[in-house]
Amino acid sequence: MDRICWDETFSVGDPQMDLEHQALIEIINQMIDHHPKPGWSGEIVGILEQLTSYANRHFDSEERLLKDRNYPQLRAQQQEHQFFRQEITMLGVDLMHDLSGQRGVPGKLMEFLRAWWIDHILVRDMQYRPFLEGLPPRPAPRVQGDTGPQGADLADEAQAGSPPRTPPPGLANPYTKDPYSPDPYAPF
């Protein structure tokens, strides 16, 4: 699996959510960097714990934003977040029982994260973008130290206020190597 590189087309229309998504990318990229190196399973457990913790904080933040903005699909977002929590917990337990990787859990974990990034972030979260863009923008985020390894730089970029780019109309899947692929699970 290739590293995920942030692109402004990933913007959901809210600077804080974009910062949090960038931080999630950084954690997922740490997993990508360690997979499938020898002895990686032990290291991946710590990264998985970091991902789980950060994802939970992000979900709470995103749900607060959507609730504050009276987003009509909030319940669907909450259900998706709950699914992620359950799935990542089960994969974490499986990983602890398969540190050697013989049962294929590390690959399943990476595939789940890839599918989740594509389906949840790049499809489901994008559904609230037009809704948020129709409302007055929230102030640019203030970094409180745990927005990821690029924290202050990301906040400066968000405060610069450059408008998010939108993929061209009709572009079925702009996040793969084949931008015209209708398959949302085509390889990055």
Return the pLDDT at 139. Answer: 58
Question: Is the Cβ–Cβ distance between 48 and 95 less than 8 Å?
Answer: yes
Structural tokens at position 99: 């540190």
Tokens, residue 23: 């931080």
CA atoms of 126 and 149, how far apart (whole Å): 24
Helix, strand and coil content of the chain, in percent to the nearest 5, comes to 60, 0, 40
Q: Where are the domains of the chain?
A: 10-133
The greatest distance separating any two alpha carbons of the chain, rounded to the nearest whole angstrom, comes to 51
Give me the tens of pLDDT residue by residue for the chain, a chain 188 residues long.
Answer: 788 899 988 999 999 999 999 999 999 998 888 776 665 666 778 888 999 999 999 999 999 999 999 999 999 999 999 999 999 998 888 877 766 656 556 778 888 888 888 888 889 999 999 888 887 656 555 544 444 433 433 334 334 444 443 433 443 344 444 444 444 444 43
Specify the DSSP class assigned to residue 72. T
pLDDT at 164: 40
Question: Do the Cβ atoms of 12 and 129 come closer than 8 Å?
Answer: yes
Question: Which among 81, 57, 88, 65 is positioned nearest to 135, based on CA atoms?
Answer: 65
Give phi and psi for 117, each to the nearest 5.
-60, -45
Is the alpha carbon torsion for 97, 99, 100, 105 positive or negative?
positive
In this structure, which topology does domain 10-133 adopt according to CATH? Four Helix Bundle (Hemerythrin (Met), subunit A) (1.20.120)
What is the three-class DSSP state of 30? helix
Task: Using alpha carbons, list the distances in angstroms from residue 108 to 91, 94, 101, 113.
Answer: 8, 10, 10, 9
Residue at 89: amino acid letter = T
What does the alpha-carbon distance between residue 169 and residue 122 come to, in Å, rounded to a whole number? 15
